[in-house]
Structure 1
């Protein structure tokens, strides 16, 4: 990768178990919001724009070993993973949605918690590349997007959220999360964003 950009676009948790029509959550509330808001097509549009601008792409995925050794047993958000056999690394469910066009040169950041900064390679990548600005979007607004914005802000990164490429299990949860994040980031959209 030869980009000298000081920006990166992080595509957050856009994996099959969460967003694909055939995925575990794609058949439930997340899937309804993803389809209703046109999240896949809008995210692909944003990825293509970022590539044209020479901005590196990082795909962040949540996943656990087949025996779920990293999965916290008492977590309200992750306890269902083991029970339902989802978020298992090396399976179709933890692969990025195929329509997003992930490439070999893109960064692939695997996480075991909500935050993409916790116990992952993300911070090392950002520092090594001299990144100062993070564009981000993904599922869900009130989990990984919120964690990225708040933690990125406190690490002195400029954060731009592509709001139309995000959703939560309900419209209300998404809107509440967006309102809470506006103090910490800039809100944009896949059509308005200028990657630089």
Structure 2
């Protein structure tokens, strides 16, 4: 996998995507289905913390994105099968432990949390406007799942004229094949592929 070092300046924002308890904890309703062990094996949370510490040290904007719904899912507009599975497990309900963040990635008081009800975090959230109004020109991404929220965010950010870097070691998918295909074949069309140590450097 080719990686490139990118100059990280004050117009860079770090976006941590769906790294919430429901997804990354072994007892999370989604995580316990197989994603959490892969997150642990790849040390995604520790790598995300490395990137988070670096962004905070440079005063880069940090955005925490999560998936969250009303208890009755009235705000879930998607009719895709994945939403049916969420409903079956009563997963990602706002106000519950599942939509909060693991302690290692707990948002600081000055860091914003954007809540989405779909894959693309820019859809109906105000996140893109927030970034553009503050002069952000480059977004650095990490999260789960690689071929869903990370890829969707990279595509949408690229469409909006933002430079994109994906931190490969801050990403994971339930299938190693899905992760590899996204990182090696799809995401390089929209982003520079890097790592948390390179970002921290």
Q: Which TM-score tier does this pair reach, normalised by the shorter chain?
A: over 0.9
Q: If the length of structure 1 is used for normalisation, what is the TM-score?
A: 0.93
Give 2:28's aligned residue.
23
Query: Which has the larger displacement, 74-83 or 137-146?
Result: 74-83
Unpaired segments of 5 or more residues in structure 2? 1-8
In 2: Cα distance, 1:27 partner to 1:113 partner: 21
**Equivalent in 184, 192, 197 of residue 191 of structure 1:** 197
Contact 1:72 1:78 in 2 (8 A): no
| Within-5 A mapping of 1:1-196 | 5-72=10-77, 74-179=79-184, 180-194=186-200
Q: If the length of structure 2 is used for normalisation, what is the TM-score?
A: 0.91
CA root-mean-square deviation: 1.4
Unpaired segments of 5 or more residues in structure 1? none
In 1: Cα distance, 2:116 partner to 2:106 partner: 20
Following superposition, which runs of at least 4 residues in structure 1 exceed 3 angstroms of deviation?
Answer: none
- The structural deviation recorded for 1:192 is 1.2
| 3-state SS, counterpart of residue 166 of structure 1 | strand
Post-superposition CA distance 1:31-84 (Å, at most 9, x none): 121011011111111100111111111000011111111113631222111111
Give 2:5's aligned residue.
none
Aligned length, in residue pairs:
192
| 3-state SS, counterpart of residue 19 of structure 2 | coil
